[in-house]
Structure 1
């Protein structure tokens, strides 16, 4: 039997690492390489495949209902919002992600954005290169020690942000209805309700997965609860923040600024008002990346596929198969 494995899309120079790992366990395999952007493009190449490795292409209900033989959909990354989980469950397809490949990269990046905003580093750099030598251009600047960092979600990445920020003397609070007080206390973090976090925080760092329930969880109402001197950092998913509401809030100087590695629409459009705001840092969804993290992600994604196809429960499972004989 020859297994068919589809790469629905990928932004890497090659997928040799993935192919090598899968061939190690499944010698008879055909790899299909695509760069799908639409549902129709995925459907055209995926109808009879045994496995899909996915990055950004939409693996929607429309796509999944047309899959006749698929056993596993493995996504490059922690998030799985490109995949219709309910539709996969109906078709008895295992869905996998990789939850631990870039913990230091993303937490380091969140801290970098936070520190850059707090110390006004990009603004000072821009001012000096423009011929202005005046520290007052970045005022006000507040001492980091004893400021409050609020974490939206308290998973693996947020926990590392907590540890790293505490080294600067920052007090950390978190909102996560799925985490126990005992776990939070182990990291010297206080669990609070969302409104309390928004009221108290000098910095907010977003680490929540994107689901139907968390879409635009930070909107106009939530932004109005933030302090005028507060900053918000997002290294998770752009759609967790209502971008139109954020733009209006920043325009009105109702918060101090934002550090955004992710946006609702990527890449950002040339006419997006955020590009003209000096108090906003924008990165091209780069927080996850390092040479080591990319290689680890490719290895673990491929191993997820190999495990399912040879009948082993993969390590990283979002949705398991109920019946492995179908």
Structure 2
């Protein structure tokens, strides 16, 4: 593999437990800079995969390949620390035990994760969301090449999620970030690559943009700047259907027109022409169900049908 661009290669990893659950024949790679998200329903195998990549468990077969000297840090969903330690002591101990030189000092890691004001507070007094922030700070201070985050924002409020998103947006420039999350809107904002697991198998992967349109219907909602009269709506709908006979065209409201084409290829040429013939200026054009939640539902639904 090209070690200049790839931080790790998951090569046909399999780990099956006595009850038949686990992961089967997983293969993908993650780039050295950027965010690769692993998503899937509960029980899909995300945490099993992460513990293997982090070296905390061994696969039955397959391997994880990284360039020599790769440093990996793993932060679980609910990090656990000695309750009598302060936040600063936790992060300082993390740095000391690693023995690695880091570009991020302990107090800087605490600041980045929004814990500067509570660095002297004992961990016993921390909420679950604060523990997640502390887990990230303890991982960042190791200056890892690969940072693995299992549900890093599941216990955070909207402000907390925005804070951590900002941290990860900056850190993606310096390292490989591998994360899982059920908050797919966060994944959509952060991820460069997405790997979808279901029942222990890889069912889809690609860039975020590729997954957003995978199995999508070539259907757009066109919003106009001003409302049409009932007569304008009727005559416009008839004229458009005549000009574009293979498209399904319907005004949902007096200012929103829905258009469905037989294919994305046809839409590529005909949608701009159709928009130009609308009787009012354009405000917005949006692909229907174009978000990661909808794409995830399509992909998982397709594997179960």
Q: What TM-score does the superposition give when structure 2 sets the normalisation length?
A: 0.29
Larger Rg: 2
